[in-house]
Amino acid sequence: MAAYSRSPLLLLLFSSVFFCGFDSVLGLKAASGPAEPPNPPVLRPADPPAKDAPAAAAAGASQPRRATGWKLSEEEACREDLTRLCPKHTWTNNLAVLECLQDRREESEIAPDCNHLLWNYKLNLTTDPKFESVATEVCKSTIAEIKECNEEERGRGYLVSCLVDHRGNISEYQCNQYITKMTSIIFSDFRLICGFMDKCRDDINTLHCGSINVGHKDVHSQGEVIACLEKALVREAEQQEGVRPIREECQKAILRVAELSSDDFHLDRHLYFSCRDDRERFCQNTQAGEGKVYKCLFNHKFEEAMSEKCRDALTTRQKLISQDYRVSYSLAKACKLDLRKQRCSLDTNLPRAREARLSYLLLCLEAAVHRGRPVSGECQGEMLDYRRMLMEDFSLSPEIVLHCRTEIEAHCSGLHRKGRTLHCLMRIGRGDRSTAVDSVCQSALQTLIQSADPGADYRIDRALNEACESVIQTACKHIRNGDPMILSCLMEHLYTEKMVEDCEHRLLELQYFISRDWKLDPILFKKCQGDAARLCHTHGWNETSELMPPGAVFSCLYRHAYRTEEQGRRVKPDKQLSRDCKVEVQRILHQRALDVKLDPELQRRCMTDLGKWCSEKTDAGQELECLQDHLEDLVSACRDVVGNLTELESEDIQIDALLIRACEPVIQAHCHDVADNQIDTGDLMECLVQNKHQKEMNDKCGVGVTHFQLIQMKDFRFSYKFKMACKEDVLRLCPNIKKKVDVVICLSTTVRNDTLQEAREQRVSLKCRKQLRVEELEMSEDIRLEPELYDPCKSDISRLCPNVAFGNAQMIECLKEQKKQLSQRCHQRIFRLQEVEMSDPELDYQLMRVCKQMIKRFCTDADARNVLQCLKQNKNSELMDPKCKQMITKRQITQNTDYRLNPVLRKACRADIPKFCQSVLNKASEDSELEGQVIACLKLKYADQRLSPDCEDQIRVILQESALDYRLDPQLQMHCSDEISRLCAEEAAAQEQTGQVEECLKVNLLKIKQESCKKEVLNMLKESKADIFVDPVLHTACALDIKHHCAAIPPGKGRQMSCLMEALQDKRVRLQPECKKRLQDRIDMWSYAAKVAPAEGFSDLAVQVMTSPSKNYILFMIALSVCVLFLVGLLCGRITKRVTRELKDR
């Protein structure tokens, strides 16, 4: 495209280039007067130059320029090439001809003589004083407007140099066109750039980049020489040793050349020729100027159709831009004012200082954007392009190439395009155990991520964008394209069905580095920058400072987010996070819970323990769970950070995003009220525990909730509500105790002792007692939550209950049912547990669960400790649920095995038990059941009517209950199990026990072979004589007769039974046939009992008489006998006395 057709070029920033006469450099003197134009020299490139060849060449090119109407097209040396290569309409314009001929890539296309002629023409053009004179004439008004150019010394080429530097301010059309033309001429040959040859002469020779001598390689295009130097410059930044450094002044000159050629790709001769075909292929409709062609080619750099030559040239150009942002015309222009406004160019005296690096510019302007400072949209657009460029090609970051070379060669070779190499390095940087990354390389990766800032716009990371496109379209389509919340949305869907594997890997690789610098999350930074300055003192840290410890600011923020109390006092509002900031901190914590590597402090401190304990735990969330499981085994630094994180989770379980995701159905069904609260204080986890066995609870959620409960047992601080309610009580009553289970035992023991001793004031505070009750109820649900019970019973569990689930108290219930087969230690613990549960039924998880509705129906007004008693009283109600009734029976059976498991009986009979049953107590051990021996002893005394009234009432209840269900009499069941199976199998198999088994045993008393069983049956008969209610079959048969004939007689002490017996003997009274039959049967049984079980002593005999239905008759006969004996005695005495007196008289 002709130069005159190009759009005006704008100003390039921060440096200057001078066009100066090369006569002193090359040994030439500019012609001061007219000279006859000699014939164009005919020199071969290979011929050694004559000593005066430069002068001749200069003179040869000078004369035609001064001759009126001299045209390059008229020169014989170039006529053939011109006719063959250039359109006819350009022949009349020397500059158009020059541009046409020098834009031909292959040197063989132009004759050597023409080449030489063109080069001399350009050289003399730039060194002729009239070159400046033309500029003075064409740009007269512009020079007057630009103060710096007006003050330049004339005659040395400085004026044109100044106009080039200020060409962005040139509004005069002709002047602009002139300066543009001159620029295109100059950049075709490094020797025509003022000072470039002097500054880079040694480096060109050292690097073998070409000749600087006129005539040695006398071609007008020296773009390859500049390209060679540029490659050497970028290579130097990528290598630590073995490369001779380019001198600083040459480095500045190289970058200045690149800067001046930044607006028009024609000016970068090497790139122009390398990408000429690619430009036509990809950027045909892109207008040259303002760096547009460069940007277009950059965007297509990794296209399959892009030639390797062009791709290499573009990469070199990009590397120069990364060293000096001014090499990018569009970026420098768009961000010029913003750089000044945000004070990002701090040292104007050093044109190639640190501030010129692309990474510094990006960091500085990104910090301004994050802080809400105004940065123009045009500048932000340019920044976005170059941030994407850095993420696409790791080689543009010399630190990565230098410090990560080993890792790239070992693990990431062949992945150069579209950011794949960078993501490969990031994967290694995450610390996968199979590989390792050098700390310097890790730092270089972090710096690159900081510069590119992909957290602000995911599209910057092309590898991530391509991998996650489908997920974004489905899961995040409601979020605006390019919004920073896209990354958060992707994290929320991590490990879900919508996530694809490739996206998952790319996302975690990026998030690993974002998590190490809070500024890389723009939303967090925006919401929390004020809090960070106020609470974490970040105002003293420069935005781009590398001194800020990784993760330090966020650690400070989350400590303040959850610190509501300090040493028992409320934290002042000015020491707390703002609400918006706390929400963002919670969001980040939720994300970090998905992978331990996203928590810098956790990974750093626990790397050794992760390898030692959790090497096989690779699934989502398993590593943190593993560390929590091995909390006591961790090194102190790791234990502290895991403990702190667990403590945070106890306050806000939503931090555990995987658990919350698994529990979503339960939360929606039962816990949505507490889940919607902005501030969670342990309520959500408490709700999940309470609803652990609802139908909406799935296996994943159940396992997660149970795991967290188990972790809470390790330290009472891990239960937030318990910690806050009981912190002061623990410090006062249970100092130096850390494990939660020990703290609960300590506090509950204190409460129990105070209650039993009827202390005037409870030592444990009311709020702590309430929370203590919640903790005790939770612990009763799973045996694993009570280590003192679980540890002694592990072997029994595997032996007796291998297929029973732990939750829902099922394992505890299984051990209770297998109690007789348990090992001694486990048996003792189960007995203690039952003792506690019977004294406090709320702690009996199975009872409370199965009978939950029945408790609401029958026992709403009952005290919590009397719930079981209430249920027993309503057990035979028609409204009683069968499952609950079955559970009540189980508990009754347990209570009757030992009086200590029946707190009501124990209290009522506290005086009777040692009085009558001390011999039984002496034989018993402290933690084993008495198998109903004490209760059996009390039953006998009840029959003897020797118990205290309170104890008698309780024994009567037990007798009535066991008379209906033989299983409630442990002695009977123990001694008569074989006889029941043999004689009463059908009755025992009945679901509803109504005393039929006992009746069967009584009826078959004569068939019973075992003496111990027969004795128990006889005891039953004896007990039934004392109270008809103890004999349910007889009581049912005689219920109407009792109502009619014995209604006025109070029950107990055999009174109603005596009433019925008298009615039976009274012929005037007609009893019901069934009652009459049953009574006659009982009389026969009692008669047999009296025969086979005679009184063992006078007391037993007296009791038998007093309890006999024929008591009055017996007593009458006894009295009559006594009277007869008395009369006989009197009579015998008088006779004896008379005989004695007669003997004396003799």
Which of the given ranges, 604-608, 753-757, 911-915, has the highest pLDDT on average?
911-915
pLDDT score for 454: 92
pLDDT greater at residue 544 or residue 372: 372
Determine how many CB atoms are found less than 10 A away from the CB of residue 1125. 10
State pTM to two decimals.
0.68
Confidence of residue 69 (pLDDT cuts 50, 70, 90): low
pLDDT score for 36: 31
Residue with token string 């919508």 = 498
Burial label, 675 (beta-carbon count in 10 A; 0-12, 13-18, 19+): buried
pLDDT score for 746: 92
Distance between CA atoms of 142 and 169, rounded to whole angstroms? 9
Distance between CA atoms of 427 and 408, rounded to whole angstroms? 12
Distance of CA 704 to the CA centre of its chain: 13
pLDDT score for 2: 34
pLDDT score for 380: 92
Distance between CA atoms of 1103 and 625, rounded to whole angstroms? 69
Provide mean pLDDT across the span 936-957: 86
pLDDT score for 797: 94
Do the beta carbons of residue 754 and residue 762 sit within 8 Å?
yes
pLDDT digits (tens, 9 = 90+) for 606-622: 888 888 888 887 777 78
- Least confident range from 23-32, 593-602, 1132-1141: namely 23-32
Do the beta carbons of residue 65 and residue 124 sit within 8 Å?
yes
pLDDT above 90 as % of the chain: 17
String of b and e for 631-653 (b: at least 16 CB within 10 Å)?
beebeeebbebbbbbbbbbbbbb
Confidence of residue 486 (pLDDT cuts 50, 70, 90): very high
pLDDT greater at residue 1108 or residue 33: 1108
Whole-angstrom CA distances from 54 to 43, 60, 78, 210, 219 are 11, 10, 19, 18, 13
Do the beta carbons of residue 179 and residue 34 sit within 8 Å?
no
Provide mean pLDDT across the span 715-726: 89
Confidence of residue 57 (pLDDT cuts 50, 70, 90): very low
- What's the token pair of residue 30? 């500019």
* pLDDT of residue 539 exceeding 80: no
pLDDT digits (tens, 9 = 90+) for 652-673: 888 888 888 889 899 999 888 8
- What's the token pair of residue 412? 């990431």
Distance between CA atoms of 416 and 751, rounded to whole angstroms? 70
3-state secondary structure of 1009: coil
pLDDT score for 127: 63
> What is the secondary structure of 718-754 as a DSSP string?
GSHHHHHHHHHHHHHHSTT--SHHHHHHHHHHHHHHH
Average pLDDT over the chain, rounded to whole? 79
SS3 content of the chain, % helix, strand, coil (to 5): 70, 0, 30
Whole-angstrom CA distances from 551 to 60, 401, 751 are 70, 26, 45
Nearest to 852 by CA among 665, 694, 720, 618: 694
- Least confident range from 25-39, 194-208, 1118-1132: namely 25-39
Nearest to 12 by CA among 359, 289, 385, 360: 289
Find the distance separating the first CA and the last CA of the chain, reported in whole Å.
185
Distance between CA atoms of 319 and 357, rounded to whole angstroms? 11
What does the H/E/C string look like for 199-210? HHHHHHHHCCCC
String of b and e for 132-144 (b: at least 16 CB within 10 Å)?
beebeebbeebbe
pLDDT score for 791: 92
Q: Residue 565: phi, psi to the nearest 5? A: -135, 145
Provide mean pLDDT across the span 1049-1066: 84
Which of the given ranges, 256-270, 565-579, 882-896, has the highest pLDDT on average?
882-896
Rounded to 10 deg, the angle between the 223-238 and 308-323 helix axes is 60
Q: State the sign of the Cα–Cα–Cα–Cα dihedral 441, 443, 446, 451.
A: negative
Q: State the sign of the Cα–Cα–Cα–Cα dihedral 838, 840, 842, 845.
A: negative
Distance between CA atoms of 1092 and 1087, rounded to whole angstroms? 9
Do the beta carbons of residue 452 and residue 384 sit within 8 Å?
no
Distance between CA atoms of 965 and 684, rounded to whole angstroms? 44
pLDDT score for 956: 86
* pLDDT of residue 45 exceeding 60: no
- What's the token pair of residue 662? 């698994």
Residue with token string 């006859």 = 36
Confidence of residue 392 (pLDDT cuts 50, 70, 90): confident
pLDDT score for 222: 64
Beta bridge partners of 194: 18
Residue with token string 């790319």 = 506
Confidence of residue 1097 (pLDDT cuts 50, 70, 90): low
Confidence of residue 870 (pLDDT cuts 50, 70, 90): very high
Per the document, the length of the chain is 1146
Distance between CA atoms of 945 and 1107, rounded to whole angstroms? 9
Distance between CA atoms of 905 and 882, rounded to whole angstroms? 26
Provide mean pLDDT across the span 421-436: 77
> What is the secondary structure of 859-922 as a DSSP string?
-TTS-GGGHHHHHHHTTT-TTS-HHHHHHHHHHHHHHHH-GGG-HHHHHHTTTHHHHH-HHHHH
> What is the secondary structure of 1053-1104 as a DSSP string?
TTHHHHHHHHHHH-TT----HHHHHHHHHHHHHHHHHHHHS--SSHHHHHHH
Distance between CA atoms of 849 and 841, rounded to whole angstroms? 11
Do the beta carbons of residue 764 and residue 722 sit within 8 Å?
no
pLDDT digits (tens, 9 = 90+) for 978-996: 999 999 998 888 877 788 8
pLDDT score for 1092: 67
Confidence of residue 351 (pLDDT cuts 50, 70, 90): very low
pLDDT digits (tens, 9 = 90+) for 993-1029: 788 898 899 888 888 888 889 888 888 888 887 778 7
pLDDT digits (tens, 9 = 90+) for 766-789: 999 999 988 888 888 899 988 889
pLDDT score for 8: 30
Provide mean pLDDT across the span 188-193: 59
Confidence of residue 564 (pLDDT cuts 50, 70, 90): low
Nearest to 1086 by CA among 1060, 1068, 1067: 1060
pLDDT digits (tens, 9 = 90+) for 163-177: 776 777 788 888 888
* pLDDT of residue 962 exceeding 70: yes
Q: Cβ neighbours of residue 644 under 8 Å, at least 6 residues apart? A: none
Do the beta carbons of residue 848 and residue 842 sit within 8 Å?
yes
Provide mean pLDDT across the span 796-815: 91
Burial label, 713 (beta-carbon count in 10 A; 0-12, 13-18, 19+): buried
pLDDT digits (tens, 9 = 90+) for 571-582: 677 778 888 998
pLDDT score for 18: 32
Whole-angstrom CA distances from 200 to 17, 126, 227, 958 are 14, 20, 13, 112
Rounded to 10 deg, the angle between the 699-712 and 622-629 helix axes is 30
Q: Cβ neighbours of residue 821 under 8 Å, at least 6 residues apart? A: 796, 800
* pLDDT of residue 49 exceeding 60: no
